[in-house]
Amino acid sequence: MLPTFSSKAFLAPMAGVSDPALRLQCRQMGAGLVVTEFTNIHSIIAKQKQLAENKKTIQEFIQYSEKERPLSVQLFGSDVFALEKAAKIVEPFFDIIDYNMGCPAPHITKQMAGGALLQEVNLTQQILRTLVNSVKKPVTLKIRSGVTDASKFLFREIAEIAEDEGIQMITLHPRTVSQGYSGHSDWSMIKELKEISRIPIVGNGDILTPEDAKSMLDETNCDYVMVGRGAMGNPFLFEQINDYLKNNSYETYSLKDKLDSFFDYLHLTNQYEIKFANIKSQAMRFTKGLRGGSKLRSRITFCNDITELEKVMKDAYSI
């Protein structure tokens, strides 16, 4: 059974972005569910082997905090034997196992994983069956609508298979794989998926404001919304969405609040192993909209360590 979610707004999995510090921050700001960055099933198996030799668990590899719960782990990779093994390794630590069938990156689709799987109906069925039978935790699925414009309605068949195989919730980002992030997500597909499904549907794509979140819920009747890019450097969005859905109003935040929020993020990163390059990218996102922001971002690029980054970001208060 799915856990109970405290909000209708979820944080999307984003490789290099939704690290454990940002996830915790978004959860504390009201996200109902957070999902780890996608993780390769073969890496999980290889790491587990190494870690077990040192009496450590996979928590050292996929880092998280108990405060993030409910927490979903996202897997990718289409080798069903490896999938079963990897799912069993992560199962004890996470509340939901999510499977990625949406990633458009060529290095993923070339391995017949991510979004490329949408056109492989038999393999998809095998994968979802394996996953659901391997674990007792709820399994969910994240998909795009199709691969190319000519196959943009693949989600219909995939969703039917998913439901038959015991998938408990589907997130739809209604762009095709070949679209990448261009154009707009087609929310009418989320509406259609909701109409044909009996399981909860999470709508995803182009939610940047609380108003967008409400529009998606109203227009598509989806059960939950998932926010990706809109939450980058902007964990406030979850509180704003929750307030807007409840009271039709929300508080705005100043640029100083955004900088304070970056320092909260930075403080949280101490507890995890997060690449410094990723932390710098996060810093840049928190400076979006700041006067003199582009100058600041070029200074961030040249920072070599946390101390230098802290100094540059502190200077931002006086811009």
Ligand X SMILES: Cc1cc2nc3c(=O)[nH]c(=O)nc-3n(C[C@H](O)[C@H](O)[C@H](O)COP(=O)(O)O)c2cc1C
- Which sequence positions are flagged as catalytic? 103
User: In this structure, which amino acid lies at residue 38?
Assistant: F
Q: Does position 213 bind ligand X by CB under 6 A?
A: no
The two beta strands, 71-76 and 39-40, are parallel
User: Of the two residues 131 and 316, which places its CB atom closer to ligand X in the complex?
Assistant: 131
| Span of 86-94, 125-133, 204-212, 303-311 interacting with ligand X by CB under 6 A | 204-212
Q: Which of 17, 82, 167, 169 binds ligand X (CB under 6 A)?
A: 17
Cα distance from N-terminal residue to C-terminal residue, the chain: 50
Q: Does position 14 bind ligand X by CB under 6 A?
A: yes
Main-chain phi, psi angles of 176, to 5 degrees? -85, 165
| Span of 42-50, 198-206, 240-248, 272-280 interacting with ligand X by CB under 6 A | 198-206
Q: Does position 132 bind ligand X by CB under 6 A?
A: no
Q: Which of 90, 57, 60, 61 has its CA nearest to residue 75? A: 90
User: Of the two residues 129 and 229, which places its CB atom closer to ligand X in the complex?
Assistant: 229
Residues in contact with ligand X, counted by CB under 6 A, come to a total of: 22
Contact by Cβ (8 Å): 45, 58: no
Least CB distance to ligand X at residue 63 (A)? 15
Q: Which of 207, 213, 274, 296 binds ligand X (CB under 6 A)?
A: 207
* CA distance linking residue 170 with residue 202, whole number of Å: 6
Residues 83-112 that bind ligand X (CB under 6 A): 100, 102-103
Burial of 273 (0-12, 13-18, 19+ CB in 10 A): exposed
Q: Which residue is nearest to ligand X (CB)?
A: 228
Is the alpha carbon torsion for 240, 245, 246, 249 positive or negative?
Answer: positive
Q: Say which DSSP state 150 is in.
A: G
Instruction: Give contact residues for ligand X (rule: CB under 6 A).
Output: 12-17, 37-38, 74, 100, 102-103, 142, 173, 204-207, 227-230
